[in-house]
Structure 1
Amino acid sequence: MKAYVFPGQGAQFKGMGKDLYERSPLAKELFEKANEILGFPITDIMFEGTDEDLKRTKVTQPAVFLHSVILTKVLGASFDPDMVAGHSLGEFSALVANGVLEYEDALKLVSKRAMAMQKACELEESTMAAVLGLEDHLVEAVCADIKGTVVAANYNCPGQLVISGDLLAVERACEELKERGARRAMILPVGGAFHSPLMEPAREELAAAIEETNFAKPVCPIYQNVSTFAMTDASEIKKNLILQLTAPVKWTQSVQNMIKDGATEFIEVGPGKVLQGLVKKIDRNAQVSSAEI
């Protein structure tokens, strides 16, 4: 069975999507529509901008989303998933791919999500840190004992967990985790505490927009970050998407459940190969590849 997976923030690169734009009239049309919807020429930044330009919040999330979704549209009939999943932001791409969200609606939500997250980041000094070489339950236990807000945020693969919270709490947690035997516990160059309680203001803002958006019946199950199991009920999918900003990304558990349900081939749709690497670390027998036109 084929599982299509969609990357999140951090997968962007200079020149992303340019080949699609130049090779496919459909891609060109969809990119131009995105420029209209967003109110600025995101294609100029994606194709010609610097790495710094691409890191700007209002650019990064829509850029990664557009690369993934437009590639899906260009694949046409050859895109035939048995199941889908997306890592954080990638979940919005996955929901367009399996027919739950319309392209334009999803792009508007992604743009609103980026701006709401940026606002939440400005309320309190916060960050994230990658923890390597410890079991999940040990990381969770350390976070629970730290004063302040710090939680497990991204379960990327066995032995790789990202924590998130206020700056001092994350720094204290990193020191404690190193003492407990973590191979590395390093602060990441991100603007805030994504997938933590500190994103509550953003979750509330995005929730209102999600509630007003139509969610259709999916053509195949999605394994969501919050639930990790096959989801096909539109109302449940909507509920999980609202919870996503303050809840952890349970990528390890999602991939394990996809494999348990019959996934043998994981195809990454969008920029980079990060998810392929994570899937191989979760199950070395899994077949991985990139979607290509």
Structure 2
Amino acid sequence: MGKTTFIFPGQGSQYLGMGKDFYDEYPEVKELHDQVNDKLGFNLTEIIFNDEKKINMTEFTQPALVLTSYAVFMITNREKPDLKPDYIAGHSLGEFSALVAGGSINPVDGVWITHIRGKLMQEAVPEGVGGMAAVIGLTADKIKEIISQISGIVEIANYNSYEQTVISGEKKAIDEAVEILKEEGAKKVVPLPVSVPAHSSLLREKAVEFEKYLNEIEIKDLSVPLVSNVTGKPIKSSGEIREELKVHFYSPVKWVQSIEFLIGDGVLNFYEIGPKKVLSGLIKRINRSLNIKNIDTVEDLRKL
């Protein structure tokens, strides 16, 4: 049978109308939306369902994904009470969804703090100064060796799979890295349509500001361990989680290392809870023998 992990997607998985079937069918999801909107002071529900421009703006994307992913988890937990994870994990922003699902952060606080996080990330560098790119077909070690020789800030932001690594930093340095990585044998290097250099040292200053907001919310111990983006190892206590979230802002996402740890500890079953199937695709590239299921819609849930 093997152990089970619930995984939660990050930014880039959002789409207009995500979670609407859960909202329409389950009154408790609508109630959660209402509580969130009251806390935020604006109508996040309207943005998720009807505003194609705003749903792709970082300060709205992040809380929208946490709200949607948690709503899917909440109903899954109710409808499938025997489906229990041994671990939880989230990719980048998805770590906040995981912490809410695990009971460490109150759902309304989780949505509020990620709205703040998105705003701070957007403010970190002026428009056009930061950038990111996905590198396919070179090892992370080779990429690190190449980018270390480029002047300016360019760093590994995401260890997504053995074949895909994301770099982040100053746009000028990213542009230079794109050309050199292609020359050095990358199958593909794709600049991402973002201006926020996520998980790079350019966000270190804003992380200090974010910590002040983190101190305004309660963070509890987890009952199920979270596999950390920062270390690729499990954490459970509120103290560990606070330390994680302080540095998470500018630290690389060690997704490959997290999945390797989980597989090594006997996890064979992964449930991606929330929009799209991005993480399922990454995990399949790491190990094709795993049992991976997605819960994005009510229909997905009923098929389990």
Classify the TM-score, shorter chain.
over 0.9
Matched, 1:90 2:91: no
The TM-score with structure 2 as length reference comes to 0.93
The TM-score with structure 1 as length reference comes to 0.96
Give 3-state SS (helix, strand or coil) of 2:148's partner: helix
- Bigger mean CA deviation after superposition, 273-282 or 72-81: 72-81
Give 3-state SS (helix, strand or coil) of 1:264's partner: strand
Matched, 1:206 2:207: no
Q: Which residue of 2 aligns with 1:58?
A: 59
Which of 12, 17, 23 is equivalent to 1:21? 23
The Cα RMSD (Å) is 1.3
Counterpart-to-counterpart distance in 2, 1:149 and 1:280 = 31
**CA offsets, 1:186-240, max 9 Å, x none?**
2110122110001113211111122343221111110011011111222112101
Moved over 3 A (4+): none
Q: Which residue of 2 aligns with 1:2?
A: 4
Q: Which residue of 2 aligns with 1:12?
A: 14
User: Does the Cα contact within 8 Å between 2:5 and 2:86 map onto a contact in 1?
Assistant: yes
* AA matched with 1:262: G
User: Does the Cα contact within 8 Å between 2:67 and 2:107 map onto a contact in 1?
Assistant: no
Give 3-state SS (helix, strand or coil) of 1:157's partner: coil
User: Does the Cα contact within 8 Å between 1:130 and 1:161 map onto a contact in 2?
Assistant: yes
User: Does the Cα contact within 8 Å between 1:151 and 1:163 map onto a contact in 2?
Assistant: yes
Q: Which residue of 2 aligns with 1:259?
A: 263
Give 3-state SS (helix, strand or coil) of 2:42's partner: coil
In the TM superposition, residue 271 of structure 1 has moved relative to its aligned partner by 0.4
**CA offsets, 1:118-165, max 9 Å, x none?**
110327701000100001100011111110000000110001000000
Count of residue pairs the alignment pairs up: 292
1:139-178 maps to which residues of 2 (within 5 A)? 139-178=143-182
Q: Which residue of 1 aligns with 2:298?
A: none
Which of 44, 47, 66 is equivalent to 1:45? 47
Is there any run of 5+ residues in structure 2 with no aligned partner, and where?
296-300
Matched, 1:71 2:59: no
Identity of aligned residues (%): 38
Counterpart-to-counterpart distance in 1, 2:40 and 2:122 = 16
Is there any run of 5+ residues in structure 1 with no aligned partner, and where?
none
Which of 225, 230, 251 is equivalent to 2:229? 225
